[in-house]
Structure 1
Amino acid sequence: MNKKFLNAVLFGALLASSTGTFTSCKDYDDDINGLSERVDAVEKTLADLNTKFGALAYVKSVSFANGVLTVTDQSGTPTTYTIPDNDTNTTYTLDVTSSREGNVTTVTVTLTGSDNSKIVKTFTITDNDTVTQDTKLDPTKFWMDSEGVMWYGTKDDKENSIKTGVAVPKQPQHDKTTVSVVQYKDETGVVVGWEILVDNQPLSTKLLIQDVLPITSFEYIPTKILAGWGERVIVFEENSYKQKTIVANEVKTSATATLYMSNVAAPQYRVNPSSATLAQLTEEGKAQILKQTVEQVTRTPGVFIDWKKTTIENGIMTVSLEADPALFEDEADKLDMIALQFETTAKNKVATEYVGVINKDAEIDVVLTDKAVTATNPGDDANHFAITKADAEAQVAKIDDKNMPMTGNAALVQNVTYSEAIAGINLTELVSACNVKDAAGHKFFDYTKYPDLTLSFEAVAYKVNETPQERYMSLDGVTFKAVNYGNVNESCIGKAPMVLAKLTDSHNGNAIVAAAYIKLLIVGDAAAKPEPDITITENATIGIDCNNSAYTWSTNDEFMSTQVYTFSTNEKLTALSKEQFHTLYGYAAAPVVGFDNVGTWNVTEILTAGDNKANRGAKFELTTAPLEAKTYVAYAVYEKTTDADVIVSIANGGMYPKYVAIKHVVKVDPINFTATAKEKAPNAWNGNTASIYCQTPGTTNTTQIIGDLNELFVGGKVQFDYSSSFDAEKFPSFVADNMEYTFVFSEKNLKATRGLVTGVDGTQYQLALNADKTELHAVGKDLTGTAVASAITADNLVASLSDANNNDVTFANTAVAKNLLNKEARGADSFYAVMDIVYENGCDMTVPVTNGEFNLAFIRPVNVSSDASKFFTDGLNEGDPANTLKLGELVTFTDWRKDSPLNSFAANLDYYRYYGVTKIECKGNIADVVETDWTGTRKTLKEAFGAELASQIITITSKNVTYTTAEVTAVPDFGTASYIKSSRVEIKDYKLYIPLTITYTWGTIEETIEVQVKATK
């Protein structure tokens, strides 16, 4: 048995704890003022923490001591959060051990308190768990819910997480005063991360150490597929170019021989885990190149590619490679393939998959452009920097009286703000490049992936109004700094120094690949390039709803002060006061491009009549109705003023972003509960089947087959219980007062589920439903698709539902319905419809009913059987009256009331009129349809007696019966059956089986009766 150990230590933020234990508040200071201050401090801390790190972040460390929470980010910069601490605490430690056998890992979790209490629980992980794809214990998968219960799995997927069974004992809590930190360790005791909690309720902040988990794999990110092979390939680009020269302050293309750049590629790989850093690889991520050549199954070793550089950022590894183009396979049926192998600091070797490599040569012509040119925006000629000094000098570059760039300045003049220019600007951040060779069109050229290409800058001397502009600048490599002439502060503002940018190729003796003249205009700080737009997100989760009273959320003063005015997501910006923010920003009432709402919203600015600049916010009203189970998004956008006086009135005002948006995200959860119909009427059900019958004979009744489905339930109404997961506050539209139920015909009646149904005459049908499922029809068995719905007519109606709850069910008086009804007598094979109960609120949102599906049997009104007291006598003279029996006496009629003394037609003769029995007949040639056991086995008369004698056994004469309004007092005369066999060759007891067709109000019944023939004594 392989045994492993994991220690997850929890420690509280209310008492300094260097040992890593969970601390929960037990005694509290009852001073109200002190508590209020503490709550405020805690709320501010948590708001700042969430703003800076969000839902998940990778950090270096987290510590808590003396009321100070310190989080050190990836760059090593610590951020402190002060949390007042004046309480007594209790500590708990969570220890986890695991053992593995086969594909099952058993985990034992032990919670030990400082009072020596101990809770021990176990759970198992198997290969087919949804939490993890193997049984290895992952310490980052432990998390705590709002009840202090520890789970193992993904926090956002509680349903598929495993409940460990361990929970931190509840302690008396004051609102937002107990701040706790859960510390997780791996099997060796190394801390892997933390989770922040308040009053046992986790925040949305989870902090993991960036590089603690080992690198397990690299996944190639393909960008090219090799035609004809279908193979993903890394493309090495062997670019050639004509050298540029600078002649008389002009960039010219040399007519000398073509030069070739180094042959490079920069494939990218996803790193697992994504938190890994370059520091986890030895020798700065140096790769060993593994090669194979594919030709059917032939592999050839060899190295022809050199590693240059590796970077890892946000889980993506970029590897710079250089190849010797002469060593690539050039045969059409061969393809070189490489894999990269790295060594980790733990001395493990991790290799990528093999990927094809090809060499691609192309002639290029590179020009330098402004930074607007990117891989996704190749730009055009308007982005090209000037290739002559004269053209650059001619570019208009002026400022207005507020030190802002003037309207009409040349687009290619690069505005640099005074503060930034004094501090120093990296000029490479202003320059991009593109390839303008005819075949390429205008295509972004990423020179940074070529290790031999270098972008450098030189100062260019020129004058404006006899003032040398180069006096106002200095260059240190690629760093440009503004210089105040004569040490006069801000004297450089309005000056326009010029630089010559050169892209050179060290592979070819620093030959110039591209060059351009760039004019820089030093402007006031109000013209500073704004930082990226800031979006502050507030999340909410609600249940699916009719939304008749529209969902609303409004910011309050606390939210605006701690989330919006702070600019805490950008370290370059400082917090503004309310007045400063609303002076610098105005509410954008019209939609702003890039801030697109999802759903229908009404977002308005909140203004307070008194001091508007100190009391503003936004109100979000979600007017979509009804809501769907999806995520809705809305923005309240604040736009920065363009008034330079206002901008410069605030320190670094130009740096603040153009837009500050409050993003409200509302996740609408689907219903997570069910309803159960309760209190079924006990005598109305046979298992899950209820029945509908013909009306009981009476003076005012008719032979309608109707019923009220409500009467199947106690109290004449369906009542429901919800499952325990129902939350009335979250799902207000689903409280009982807002709900209605209806009965419908289920889709399980359709052919796809039920198959075909058969009528009494043998015809097969498929059942069909109308649009609202209140009608059941029987249509052609072979119809498909839309032809099924098109075939629905009044003539093939079988049953229908009506009334408020669709509770009144009526069996149709159509030939098709009668054909199905009369196939079987009352019993398990009676024709039935599958029913559903739909439970919905006022906007047609339904709750699944766990027992809403049931079978509704339609009971044939009349049943027919043999009268055992009636018989024929074999051996009597032909015509003997004893052998002529009335058809009405040969059969016994009962109605649908099973085992009831009231069901007999013989005892209630008027039933013949009530049920409309009009004819009893034997259809077809008697010799062919009547059977006998004369020979010992059941055969037709013809088979038993031969054709001639078969016609001399029995005759049947039928009569139609009509009724008046008068009560029937005798069995109607339906005709007779006469036994005419007179042969005395053999006389014995035997039976006749006579198939009869009975016609009545609800169609025809086919029943074979058995008549005894007795030998003459």
Structure 2
Amino acid sequence: MRKRFYGALVLGSFLLAGGVVTSCSDYDDDINNLNQRVDAVEKTLNDLKAAIEKGVTINDIATTDNGIVIKTSKGDFTIINGTSQAGCTVEIGPNGTWVINGKDTGKPSKGADGEDGKDGIYYEPNAETNTWWKVEGDKKTDTGVSYLAEGTITAVYDKVNGELLLNGVEGYQGTLVISLTTGLKSLVFQPDFYYQGIEAMSVGTYNYTEKTVAKVNADNDFSKDAPTSLKGVAMSPGLVANYHMNPSNADINKIEKLSFISDDKDYTRSEGGVVKATVTSKEAKDGILTVHAQLTDGTIKDINTDGKVTVLALQANYKNAEEKVDTTITSDYAAVKAVDYNDMVLAHADATVDHTKHLYATAAEAIKNEAEYEIVWNHEGMDVAELVQTHYDDLSSGTSVHEAWDVNAKSGTVEKYGFEYSYELVGYHKGENKTSESAHAAMKGSVLRPQMPKDGKQQAFGAEQNQAEVNREPLVRVILRDKVSNKIASVGYIKFKIVDQAAESSVLLNAQFQFNDKYTVNCTENEHKLEIAWHDFEEDILAKLQELGISKEDFHTNFKLEGGNDDATQYDGVTATSQPATKKGIVKQTISDTGAEQTEIITWTLKNNEAYQLFKNNEAASVVVRYAKEIDATKHIYQYVYVTLTWTPSERNVTPAGKLADSDKIKEYWYATNKPTAGSGYSDIHAIVETVGQIGANDEFKSDILNTFVGNDVTVSDVNSVYTAFQNDKLTKEFKFVDPQGTDLTPVTGNSGTQYEITVGKNGTVLYANIKGDLNKYEVVRLINQETPAAGKTIQQSVLEYVDNDVAKDILNYADHKDLDVKETFTAQLEIKPTNCDWVPFTLDNNKFFVKFLRPISIIDPNDNTFTDAETGGAKRDLTLKFVDWRDHNFDGTETKGHNYYEYYGVNKIECLEKDIKTDLNGTSGKFDKLLSSVTDKIKFHFTEPTYQEIQQGKNGIKHYFGTLLYENNGVTVGDFQIQVPFDVTYDWGTIRVYVVCKISKTQAN
């Protein structure tokens, strides 16, 4: 029974093995266990189907100890048997035959060349009968041979039809067919270049002089062979357009029709009809749909000459048979640019910058000159296609530029445009030799192999090799042919010399392997292993070496992985002179036993940190290793097979990030920038000394930042779930001071008027101050640990401690606690830095804030210090001052609740700066711009300082005594005036300067 997997699974009947059922309880347990296993399988298959519908592609199918694993571009899907038996995989191997669990069945799939030939015989698995069917043309015959492995899951990976056939899936009867393709949703043009800013493709016209050549062989004398030129030909093979398919695994077999919409878009008026484009073929690989089309009718417009541009859009009529929906999908428009290419000529692939190193134009010219390449007598095969390229004159820029068309003949470039290369040996005789020079070699496609002739005649490719071939010089004719008209566009000749040993090392092959495993950074040293499967090794290395005449046995025996199998040397390139490079992880070789034979497997292992260093700034990473065969040890001549491994993660997750939400802050502790109102914003917090009257309070200046956060801890949110190592519970968080240099936070002014530069030190945990021009630095604020850290806190150094030294105090006392500008109250900026591992930066949004260190107390002039001139004995007044703390609590108010604030804040000294007294005498009333001593020396003020005890306990009935002012005038009478008297009041946290205005009433009775 054949079922397709489109929706939920329909469970079949179950046969419970294991003997007679003895109790309902046992029966229920068996049913529950079976249901759980079936549910797990159903979920896996549903997840796989959903992934395929999103464009995921299948990379490999492999067996496990108890089932199979389906490896996709987005991860693995494992299906288990429910028994201890391993699964079974059936897939098409590198030689085009069906392979079961690594063993080649010898049964061809779709014919030896991979295409349906009329006389070709191949085999295909039949999901209805679960047997191999033999296909001969239109006739299909059941062989009766089952491809299923008894008692286990069998997975048939049918790449040709885009299906995965599963048998033996627990809870499912018959064959489960999973389509590996999905419906086409959109097409996006992949531009070849930009034509005056427009995405464009080129349509080339190849102008050449047709040539003819005589038939040649390797045995006879064709030393005068040369092409004959005929008339000129203009060949337009059509256009080749590439489109990104969405999704990339869309089934192009369901595209019933492809057509182009064409139009000419105005720049100005133009003549000529709109060109028509007819699709001739299509193909898809790696998510790219390549369309070949012929252009007929009309003309391709040119912006510069016609004022118009020809544009094409591809339309695909797509049919989804299961959903019975026909859809027309149209790509974006792309410009078409006509380009002329003239005078194609064959050249050497190592051509110089000016592209003048062409092949010889005649056999005679090649014969009379030195051989251009050497080949060792026992070489298994040199690919001539890698030595040849085509040059032409490119007229696309308006002037003729001679340049290379392709990298080399092996690149497949010219084939896209209707041309092809061919190669043949040209016989000729040298001296008295009766055997042709070219008979000492044979060609298979483009591969040239030295070998012995027999009876003076060339032998089939693969014949005996012998040193007697040395010094023979076979001649190869290379032809570039126009496949559309079957006309020859260019001919060239290359002479080789067979030598006893190579003059220098050579590179035979550079096999490239791509991996797209996703990468996500984490903070472990877990290893990620990338592996070249055995069948990929055979297909991309051994099979390609076989084309060069190097057998699998030769490779296994003579080619060694340089550096050793456990940690291969890595190289900086893929040339014969490439040098060892800094290693990226470890590349090693292991041996896989496929059952029939042993084959190498290459693995590339990277630790997570190594991978992060590669991917944090790069989308891909590559390593190069090589196998070497010793040709001449004394001369250090080797043949190399390079293996390039490139990892381009389908998902590259290297930038963990999160957010500190304002909702994680306790609103009432936070302030808007430089604002005094709590709850007005989330920019500032205010650091203060300990509050009077609280248990253990002793006027220390310590503030725990965590008290301002919900739960007294910092929570990082909005971290992408893919970053499992960087979720909030995995992060270590730190508070750090932000360097204030270059901001308004430095310099700052102290109460003394001194200016200080503020800097950061000790890894962001201390702020320093130094007087400008003085290199001595003094600590101002530091981050310290909690005395008793709370359980579960993720930040330890969360306490801000204001330092008790003269410089720090000077800065602290510059401004009143209400003056919140950054140039008034001392302000610092902090940031929260979360980490899990120090080598991976974590970006935290909204992580910076400001802390303002509020001056603990302020002293206010109550403006009630008044004197009368000419009192007997001088006028005396007890100094009155108003003290308030950072909460505006009056030291003498009821809010003190019986606590002595003077004692708590350590008010211990009041000094008068008599020499700095200023006055408004002889000036504007209230404007204190002159020193009293500079106006008159007859008016004196003297201050009697209070003792510490008097400040705290009072004197003469005054609760808190601040000292006495004595005013004397020993000169002439005077009218009303004022003086401004500066006082320095010292307390626990420094000195505050307060200016007291004393009013002097006019002389008595005057």
Superposition TM-score tier, normalisation by shorter sequence: 0.5 to 0.7
Query: 1:300-379 counterparts in 2 under 5 A?
Result: 302-307=273-278, 309-314=280-285, 315-322=288-295, 328=301, 332=305, 334-346=307-319, 348-361=327-340, 364-369=342-347, 372=349
Q: Does 1:515 align with 2:481?
A: no
- Measured after TM superposition, the shift of residue 824 of structure 1 is 1.8
Structure 1 partner of 2:390: 433
- Give the counterpart letter for 1:809 in structure 2: E
- Give the counterpart letter for 1:516 in structure 2: G
Give the TM-score normalised by structure 2: 0.53
- Give the counterpart letter for 1:366 in structure 2: M
Query: 1:522-921 counterparts in 2 under 5 A?
Result: 532-533=510-511, 544-545=522-523, 567=538, 572=543, 584-588=559-563, 590-594=569-573, 603=586, 630=615, 637=625, 639-642=627-630, 658-659=641-642, 689=685, 691-693=687-689, 707=701, 744-746=736-738, 769=760, 772-774=763-765, 776=767, 799-801=780-782, 809-811=801-803, 818=810, 821-825=813-817, 831-836=826-831, 856-865=851-860, 886=877, 888-889=879-880, 891=882, 899-900=895-896, 913-914=908-909
The answer to whether the Cα contact below 8 Å between 2:355 and 2:403 also exists between their aligned partners in 1 is yes
Structure 2 partner of 1:268: 241
Structure 2 partner of 1:448: 415
Deviations 1:759-793 (A, max 9, x none): 989999997756944555799xxxxxxxxxx9796
Q: Does 1:466 align with 2:466?
A: no
- Give the counterpart letter for 2:434 in structure 1: E
Deviations 1:949-996 (A, max 9, x none): xxxxxx998546668999777535453699xxxxxxxxxxxxx99998
Separation (CA, whole Å) in 2 of partners of 1:385 and 1:897: 101
The answer to whether the Cα contact below 8 Å between 2:442 and 2:460 also exists between their aligned partners in 1 is no
- Give the counterpart letter for 1:342 in structure 2: Q
- Measured after TM superposition, the shift of residue 395 of structure 1 is 7.3
Structure 2 partner of 1:975: 965
Q: Does 1:295 align with 2:267?
A: yes
Structure 2 partner of 1:1000: 985
Cα distance change on mapping 1:433 and 1:404 into 2, 3 Å: same
Cα distance change on mapping 1:456 and 1:825 into 2, 3 Å: closer
The answer to whether the Cα contact below 8 Å between 2:366 and 2:494 also exists between their aligned partners in 1 is no
The answer to whether the Cα contact below 8 Å between 2:876 and 2:967 also exists between their aligned partners in 1 is yes
Partner of residue 384 from structure 1, selected from 340, 355, 359: 359
Question: Does the residue aligned with 2:855 lie in a helix, a strand or coil?
Answer: coil
Alignment size in residue pairs: 761
Structure 2 partner of 1:9: 8
Cα distance change on mapping 1:218 and 1:859 into 2, 3 Å: closer
Separation (CA, whole Å) in 2 of partners of 1:820 and 1:604: 62
- Measured after TM superposition, the shift of residue 42 of structure 1 is 1.3
Separation (CA, whole Å) in 2 of partners of 1:1008 and 1:197: 99
The answer to whether the Cα contact below 8 Å between 2:420 and 2:480 also exists between their aligned partners in 1 is yes
- Measured after TM superposition, the shift of residue 68 of structure 1 is 4.6
Deviations 1:719-760 (A, max 9, x none): 999999999x99699999xx998653346x788798999998
Partner of residue 920 from structure 2, selected from 920, 925, 929: 925
The answer to whether the Cα contact below 8 Å between 1:24 and 1:178 also exists between their aligned partners in 2 is no
* CA RMSD in angstroms, aligned pairs only: 7.7
Cα distance change on mapping 1:325 and 1:850 into 2, 3 Å: closer
Deviations 1:254-285 (A, max 9, x none): 8987x3513466353323223346544446x4
Structure 2 partner of 1:784: none
The answer to whether the Cα contact below 8 Å between 2:686 and 2:854 also exists between their aligned partners in 1 is no
Question: Does the residue aligned with 1:336 lie in a helix, a strand or coil?
Answer: strand
Separation (CA, whole Å) in 1 of partners of 2:12 and 2:300: 63
Question: Does the residue aligned with 2:415 lie in a helix, a strand or coil?
Answer: helix
- Give the counterpart letter for 1:975 in structure 2: L
- Measured after TM superposition, the shift of residue 334 of structure 1 is 0.7
- Give the counterpart letter for 2:191 in structure 1: I
- Give the counterpart letter for 2:266 in structure 1: V
Partner of residue 64 from structure 2, selected from 42, 50, 66: 42
The answer to whether the Cα contact below 8 Å between 1:239 and 1:361 also exists between their aligned partners in 2 is yes
Cα distance change on mapping 1:842 and 1:733 into 2, 3 Å: farther
Separation (CA, whole Å) in 2 of partners of 1:197 and 1:689: 67
> Greater CA deviation, 477-486 or 998-1007?
477-486
Question: Does the residue aligned with 1:365 lie in a helix, a strand or coil?
Answer: strand
Cα distance change on mapping 1:489 and 1:731 into 2, 3 Å: same
Partner of residue 189 from structure 2, selected from 219, 229, 232: 219
Separation (CA, whole Å) in 1 of partners of 2:922 and 2:497: 117
- Measured after TM superposition, the shift of residue 361 of structure 1 is 4.1
Question: Does the residue aligned with 2:880 lie in a helix, a strand or coil?
Answer: helix
Question: Does the residue aligned with 2:311 lie in a helix, a strand or coil?
Answer: strand
Structure 1 partner of 2:788: none
The answer to whether the Cα contact below 8 Å between 2:878 and 2:962 also exists between their aligned partners in 1 is no
Separation (CA, whole Å) in 2 of partners of 1:239 and 1:619: 45
- Measured after TM superposition, the shift of residue 221 of structure 1 is 0.5
- Measured after TM superposition, the shift of residue 466 of structure 1 is 2.5
- Measured after TM superposition, the shift of residue 319 of structure 1 is 3.5
Cα distance change on mapping 1:848 and 1:456 into 2, 3 Å: closer
Unmatched tracts of structure 1, length 5 or more: 1-5, 17-21, 29-39, 59-63, 84-176, 184-190, 201-206, 406-413, 417-426, 646-653, 780-789, 932-939, 942-954, 979-991
Separation (CA, whole Å) in 1 of partners of 2:296 and 2:945: 105
Separation (CA, whole Å) in 2 of partners of 1:722 and 1:512: 71
- Measured after TM superposition, the shift of residue 352 of structure 1 is 4.2
- Give the counterpart letter for 1:313 in structure 2: A
Query: 1:54-453 counterparts in 2 under 5 A?
Result: 68=88, 70=90, 80=100, 209=179, 212-214=182-184, 216-226=186-196, 230-244=197-211, 259-263=232-236, 266-273=239-246, 274-276=248-250, 279-282=253-256, 285=258, 287-288=259-260, 290-295=262-267, 302-307=273-278, 309-314=280-285, 315-322=288-295, 328=301, 332=305, 334-346=307-319, 348-361=327-340, 364-369=342-347, 372=349, 384=359, 387-389=362-364, 391=366, 403-404=378-379, 415=382, 432-435=389-392, 439-444=400-405, 447-451=414-418
The answer to whether the Cα contact below 8 Å between 1:743 and 1:837 also exists between their aligned partners in 2 is yes
Deviations 1:399-446 (A, max 9, x none): 877x336xxxxxxxx747xxxxxxxxxx98986422379953442265
Question: Does the residue aligned with 1:25 lie in a helix, a strand or coil?
Answer: helix
The answer to whether the Cα contact below 8 Å between 1:13 and 1:67 also exists between their aligned partners in 2 is no
The answer to whether the Cα contact below 8 Å between 1:680 and 1:713 also exists between their aligned partners in 2 is no
- Measured after TM superposition, the shift of residue 344 of structure 1 is 1.9
Cα distance change on mapping 1:956 and 1:822 into 2, 3 Å: farther
Cα distance change on mapping 1:328 and 1:826 into 2, 3 Å: closer
- Give the counterpart letter for 1:9 in structure 2: A
Separation (CA, whole Å) in 2 of partners of 1:760 and 1:730: 51
The answer to whether the Cα contact below 8 Å between 1:235 and 1:360 also exists between their aligned partners in 2 is yes
Separation (CA, whole Å) in 2 of partners of 1:619 and 1:234: 39
Separation (CA, whole Å) in 2 of partners of 1:288 and 1:684: 67
Unmatched tracts of structure 2, length 5 or more: 16-33, 41-61, 78-82, 104-150, 171-176, 215-221, 320-325, 407-412, 592-597, 671-677, 786-796, 890-894, 929-937, 956-960, 969-976, 1002-1006
The answer to whether the Cα contact below 8 Å between 1:9 and 1:182 also exists between their aligned partners in 2 is no
